[in-house]
């Protein structure tokens, strides 16, 4: 062995990519989530986010759902999507659907359950079908125009301080208005949804 | 079940849990502080406590971390968490205002579930049902909400009353208790529900032999029984349903009394927050010792109405009975049963029911026809996984014509008592122990009889769809 070998090895080790600082917090959050200690899981995922983990945003949203903070979860899912585009995981899409459902954003919930269905296994698929049928039932029971009114009022209320959540409400109102024969407040919903949507990269330039 | 719910809703208290040392990191401590501030500002004191605690673990000398942790630990707790804590510590009345204060934060269905549980524990079933129905609309809460709705239905006694009337034909079989459990378990949510009951019992007087009868007549014996049931509710409840049942009872020694039975039923159930109405047609057959013994067509109508703490019930059943054995043909005829009762729900899982039940059995022969009526009293206590029940009744039975064998019109007083303990082992399994007593005092002393039945059973039920 050459006398230079230890030096080369040390240089190679040094050149190995370092473990991201966020990773121990992601792992701690996942362990807490598994143990159903959702407040602790949320804190660890938030710290991982602050240390640069993009995927931690999805897990924070799931923890918020488990803490019963449905609207906060919807908001966190929207923000996570804006950062990383896709969850890439059927279970996270189910969580997102559940958050939308609990926040009474039924079409949002249906969209995510439908998306998850395409990749769901034989155990999950029937449950998702049952959830989607519950959504249809809920939609039948709530008059659509009054739901649109409620959602637009909420979107307006949220637009200044929590635009991501407001955007989810406006999108829901817009989707619902398309289901009414008179396109109830569709123009307002469309304008609100556009206003609260994230600026596109072209727009930023 | 409730314990699991607490596990989901509550977590270890970071204000009192021992601090686990971690490597010092000022940068991480700063991030934890910021996360704590954000969660505190959102109103999640629990998450803020976790974050400040972690900050302090990484910067033990941090005055900021210590100060903020002390502040959030001393502050008024999150009303939702405080409501959970009050409910967990057995004070549902204290939980109610806290839960009310936690509404409007986007988790109202979870609040509905907890308030529904509180109301159930306080015996306010009328107010609990709509809250639990609302919680059931959330898929993540549906299982817990359905569990407590099932407990309320159990306390309201809909299935109990129906089964009492269905199974007064239990004079032919020892499976009355098993059928009662099947009916009760049928309240499980689902479009297709399957149930099975395996039972072992010891009966001191299988054929209700008179006290002074010759010992050659059948006396005590034990048996094992198996009952199976499938219930189909295509559109859930309210709506139509179909049910099929099969029963098998194998005696240990008196094999001539081995029983096989089957029944099919079609019905419709209406169910509202405070009222229910059921109408059903059923056809059942029984064979004893391998020979067709009894065919029974029955029509049942029953309902209940909840007003405040009182539950009012009425039920009627008509049995068109046809006995197949040549020596028993005279027993065939129409047997009608009517029960009116009122239940008092004082809270704490208690239901006290009092009522009056009557039977008019029009057999082919007047000497076998009778009119029977008398009071019933039942006390039920449901707490967590346990249900304890005691029921007693007195029935005055007068036959319509002289019994030629004794030269007198038979006039009986029948004293019946049952006590049972059900223990739910999770959602699908339950066990039960029961003791039943029957004493017949007749104006013809030779017909006096006494029977004790001791049974234990295991119940499995599952919603397949």
Query: Torsion-angle region of residue B190: left (phi > 0), alpha (psi -120 to 50) or beta?
Result: left
Q: Do B35 and A102 touch (CB under 8 A)?
A: no
pLDDT greater than 90 at residue A133? no
Give the integer Cα–Cα distance in Å for B335 and A158.
68
State residue A60's pLDDT score: 95
Shortest distance between the Cα of B150 and any Cα of chain A, in A, equals 20
- Distance in Å, alpha carbon of A5 to nearest chain B alpha carbon: 34
CB within 8 Å: A46 and B51: yes
| Nearest CB neighbour to B35, from listed A47, A127, A130 | A47
CB atoms within 10 A of CB B29: 21
Burial zone of A118 (CB within 10 Å; 0-12 exposed, 13-18 middle, 19+ buried) = exposed
Which of A21, A25, A31, A39 to mutate against chain B (most B CBs within 10 Å)? A39
- Distance of alpha carbon B58 from alpha carbon B66, whole angstroms: 11
Per the model's pLDDT, the better-predicted residue between A192 and B14 turns out to be A192
Nearest Cα residue in chain B from A50? B31
Domain layout of chain B by residue ranges:
2-74, 79-152, 157-463
Sign of CA dihedral A48, A53, A55, A57: positive
Q: Which of B8, B35, B107 sits opposite A50 (nearest CB)?
A: B35
**Residue in chain A nearest B44 by alpha carbon:** A39
How high is the pLDDT of residue B90? 76
Of A39, A72, A130, the CB nearest to B46: A39
Report the SS3 class of residue A94.
helix
For residue A40, list chain B residues with Cβ-Cβ distance below 8 A.
11, 14, 50
**Domain ranges, ordered by start, for chain A:** 143-198
Angle between helices B142-156 and B158-166 (to 10 degrees): 50
Nearest by CB to residue B44, choosing from A36, A67, A70, is A67
> Chain A closest CA to B344's CA: distance in Å?
34
Q: How far apart are the CA of B274 and the nearest CA of chain A, in angstroms?
A: 20
Instruction: List chain B residues with pLDDT less than 70.
Output: 1-13, 18, 21, 76-77, 105-106, 137, 139-140, 142-144, 146-147, 150-151, 153-190, 212-218, 237, 272-274, 347-348, 384, 426-427, 463, 465
Q: How confident is the model at residue A12 (pLDDT cuts 50, 70, 90)?
A: very low
pLDDT of residue B171: 34
CB-nearest partner of B47 from A42, A50, A130: A42
H, E, C per residue of chain B: CHHHHHHHHCCCCCCCCCCCCCCCCHHHHHHHHHHHHHHHHCCCHHHHHHHHHHHHHHCCCCHHHHHHHHHHHHCCCCHHHHHHHHHHCCCHHHHHHHHHHCCCCCCHHHHHHHHHHHHHHCCCHHHHHHHHHHHHCCCCCHHHHHHHHHHHHHHHCHHHHHHHHHHHHHHCCCCHHHHHHHHHHCCCCCCEEEEEEEEEEEECCCCCCCCCCCCCCCCCEEEEEEEEEEEECCCCCCEEEEEEEEEEEEECCCHHHCEEEEEEEEEEEEECCCEEEEEEEEEEEEEECCEEEEEEEEEEEEEEEEECCEEEEEEEEEEEEEECCHHHHHHCEEEEEEEEEEEEEEECCEEEEEEEEEEEEEECCHHHCEEEEEEEEEEEEEECCEEEEEEEEEEEEEEEEEECCCCEEEEEEEEEEEEEEEEEECCCEEEEEEEEEEEEEECCHHHCEEEEEEEEEEEEEEECC
The H or E element containing residue A2 is none
Which tokens is A184 given?
Answer: 């109830």
Q: Is B12 on the interface with A (CB under 8 A)?
A: yes
Q: What is the pLDDT of residue B132?
A: 84
Mean pLDDT check: name the lowest of A43-57, A126-140, B399-413: A126-140
Interface mutation target, options B7, B58, B140, chain A, most CBs of A under 10 Å: B140
The whole-number pLDDT of residue A35 equals: 83
Q: Which residues contact B270 (CB under 8 A, 6 or more apart)?
A: B238, B276, B277, B278
Residue A165, φ and ψ in degrees, nearest 5: -70, -40
How many cross-chain Cβ pairs, A to B, lie less than 8 Å apart? Answer: 79
Of the ranges A16-30, A119-133, B83-97, B329-343, the best mean pLDDT one: B329-343
| Contacting residues of B for A158, CB less than 8 Å apart | none
Q: What are phi and psi of B456, to 5 degrees?
A: -140, 140
Contacts of B32 in chain A (CB under 8 A): 43, 47
Q: What is the pLDDT of residues B2-48, one digit of tens each?
A: 444 444 444 456 777 767 767 778 888 999 999 999 998 887 888 89
CA distance B39 to chain A (A): 9
Exposed e or buried b per residue across B230-246, where buried means at least 16 C-beta atoms within 10 angstroms of its C-beta = ebebeeebeeebebebe
Chain B residues inside the 8 Å CB shell of A51: 31
Do B2-74 and B157-463 share a fold?
A: no
B9 CB neighbours in chain A (<8 A) are 68
Instruction: Kindly determine whether residue B107 and residue A37, on different chains, have CB atoms separated by under 8 Å.
Output: no
pLDDT at B214: 59
Question: pLDDT higher for A53 or A119?
Answer: A53
Residue A69 backbone dihedrals phi, psi, to 5 degrees = -100, 75
Two tokens, residue B222:
């034990």
> pLDDT band at A154, cuts 50/70/90?
very high
| CATH class of the domain comprising B2-74 | mainly alpha
Distance (Å, whole) CA A188 – CA A191: 5
According to the CATH classification, is domain B79-152 in 1.25.10?
no
- From chain A, the residues in CB contact with B39 under 8 A are 42-43, 46
**CATH for B157-463?**
2.40.160.40
Residue A1 has pLDDT above 60, yes or no: no
């Amino acid at each position: 062995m050459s006398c230079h070998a230890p030096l080369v090895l040390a240089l190679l080790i040094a050149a190995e990519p370092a473990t991201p600082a966020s990773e121990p917090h992601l792992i701690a959050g996942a362990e807490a989530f598994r143990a159903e200690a959702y407040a602790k899981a949320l804190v660890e995922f938030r710290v991982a986010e602050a240390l640069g983990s993009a995927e931690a945003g999805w897990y924070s949203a799931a923890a918020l759902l488990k803490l019963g903070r449905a609207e906060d979860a919807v908001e966190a899912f929207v923000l996570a999507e804006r950062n990383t585009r896709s969850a890439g995981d059927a279970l996270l899409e189910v969580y997102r659907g559940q958050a939308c459902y609990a926040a009474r954003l039924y079409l949002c919930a249906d969209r995510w359950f439908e998306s998850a269905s395409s990749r769901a296994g034989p155990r999950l698929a029937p449950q998702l079908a049952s959830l989607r049928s519950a959504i249809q039932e809920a939609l039948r029971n709530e008059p659509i125009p009054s739901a649109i009114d409620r959602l637009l009022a909420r979107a307006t209320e949220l637009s200044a301080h929590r635009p991501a959540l407001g955007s989810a409400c406006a999108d829901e109102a817009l989707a619902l208005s398309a289901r009414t024969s008179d396109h109830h407040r569709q123009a307002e919903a469309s304008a609100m949804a556009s206003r609260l949507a994230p600026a596109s990269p072209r727009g930023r330039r | 079940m409730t314990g699991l719910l607490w596990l989901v809703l509550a977590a270890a208290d970071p204000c009192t849990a021992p601090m686990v040392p971690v490597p010092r990191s000022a940068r991480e401590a700063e991030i934890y502080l910021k996360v704590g501030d954000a969660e505190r500002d959102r109103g999640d004191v629990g998450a803020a406590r976790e974050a400040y605690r972690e900050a302090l673990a990484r910067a033990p000398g941090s005055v900021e971390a210590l100060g903020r942790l002390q502040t959030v630990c001393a502050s008024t707790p999150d009303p939702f968490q405080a409501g959970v804590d009050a409910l967990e510590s057995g004070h549902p009345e204290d939980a109610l205002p806290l839960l009310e204060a936690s509404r409007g934060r986007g988790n109202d269905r979870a609040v509905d579930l907890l308030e529904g549980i509180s109301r159930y524990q306080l015996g306010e079933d009328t107010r609990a049902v709509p809250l639990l129905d609302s919680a059931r609309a959330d898929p993540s809460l549906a299982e817990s909400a359905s569990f407590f709705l099932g407990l309320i239905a159990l306390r309201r006694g809909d299935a109990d009353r129906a089964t009492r009337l269905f199974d007064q034909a239990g004079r032919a079989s020892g499976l009355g208790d098993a059928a009662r459990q099947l009916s009760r378990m049928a309240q499980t949510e689902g479009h297709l529900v399957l149930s099975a009951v395996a039972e072992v019992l010891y009966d001191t007087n299988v054929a209700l032999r008179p006290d002074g009868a010759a010992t050659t007549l059948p006396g005590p014996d034990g048996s094992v029984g198996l009952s199976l049931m499938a219930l189909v509710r295509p559109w859930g409840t309210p709506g139509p349903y179909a049910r099929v049942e099969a029963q098998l009872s194998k005696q240990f020694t008196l094999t001539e009394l081995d029983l096989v039975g089957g029944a099919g039923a079609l019905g419709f159930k209406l169910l509202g927050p405070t009222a229910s109405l059921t109408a059903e047609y059923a056809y059942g057959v029984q064979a004893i010792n391998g020979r067709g013994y009894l065919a029974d067509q029955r029509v049942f109508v029953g309902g209940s109405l909840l007003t405040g703490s009182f539950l009012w019930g009425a039920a009627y059943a008509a049995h068109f009975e046809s006995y197949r054995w040549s020596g028993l043909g005279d027993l065939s005829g129409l047997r009608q049963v009517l029960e009116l009762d009122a239940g008092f729900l004082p809270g704490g899982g208690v239901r006290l029911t009092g009522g009056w039940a009557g039977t008019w059995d029009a057999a082919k022969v007047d000497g076998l026809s009778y009119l029977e009526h008398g009071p019933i009293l039942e006390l039920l206590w449901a707490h967590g996984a346990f249900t304890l029940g005691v029921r007693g009744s007195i029935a005055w039975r007068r036959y319509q014509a002289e019994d030629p064998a004794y030269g007198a019109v038979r006039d009986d007083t029948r004293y019946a008592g049952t006590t049972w303990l059900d223990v739910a082992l999770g959602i699908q399994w339950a066990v039960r122990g029961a003791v039943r007593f029957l004493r017949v005092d007749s104006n013809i002393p030779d017909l006096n009889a006494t029977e004790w039945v001791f049974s234990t059973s295991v119940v499995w039920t599952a919603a397949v769809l």
